Amino acid sequence: MKRPKTSRAWWLDRHVHDPFVKLAQKEGYRSRAAYKLLWLTEKDHLLKPGMTVVDLGAAPGGWCQVAARKVGEKGRVIGIDLLPVEPIPGVTLFQADFTSDEGLALVENALDGKKADLVLSDMAPNLSGVKDADQAKHYVLAELALEFAVQWLKPDGAFVVKVFQGAGFEDFVRQARQVFRQVNVRKPDASRDESRENFLVAKGLKV
């Protein structure tokens, strides 16, 4: 009788055989998440040369890599995460807590009073295993990212944030629609079918 795999063994097996993991290794991206942003960029025309981009929750750096390649030498990419991120050419990185006053100040000072063209948030809380509590913590982070985007985006800028179906989802989408003229919920090809993960793409500040 075949021994059933443990959950960790199953995860490792899936990870090793994941086509986006293999593609990331081949193309030099640090994570399969890079293909989520590439898909969103193609779908919603998010990244162009010369843009200023802020990446909240940047580790391990896949989204920063995509952004840096797209905005080019005339653009700017600023990333922040609690976890360390190995240096990326053309990217200003901070290891700090974005939710703290100190972390927020680091990003704001790096912007030097200039507004961003794109704010990205792939932030996620440390999981406790309690679904409702983890969902609530996630939307606290999403709301902080939304507040930052409203304050620091150019009027025609865009905001991308990871969201999860379930408690808090509809309320958050409603909040975003109060301040952005266009709000869409996307599920990139690189998001696994069984995942409740989606990405909200918002454009055009109303305020």
pLDDT by position in tens, the chain (length 207): 454 455 555 334 454 557 767 776 877 688 889 999 999 999 999 999 999 999 999 999 999 999 999 999 999 999 999 999 999 999 999 999 999 999 999 999 999 999 999 999 999 887 677 778 888 999 999 999 999 999 999 999 999 999 999 999 999 999 999 999 999 999 998 776 677 899 999 999 997
Question: pTM of whole model > 0.85?
Answer: yes
Contact between 60 and 85 (Cβ < 8 Å):
yes
Give 144-155 pLDDT, tens digit per residue: 999 999 999 999
Assess whether 22 carries a catalytic annotation.
no
Distances (CA, A) of 53 to 64, 99, 183: 9, 18, 19
Catalytic residue among 162, 187, 203, 206: 162
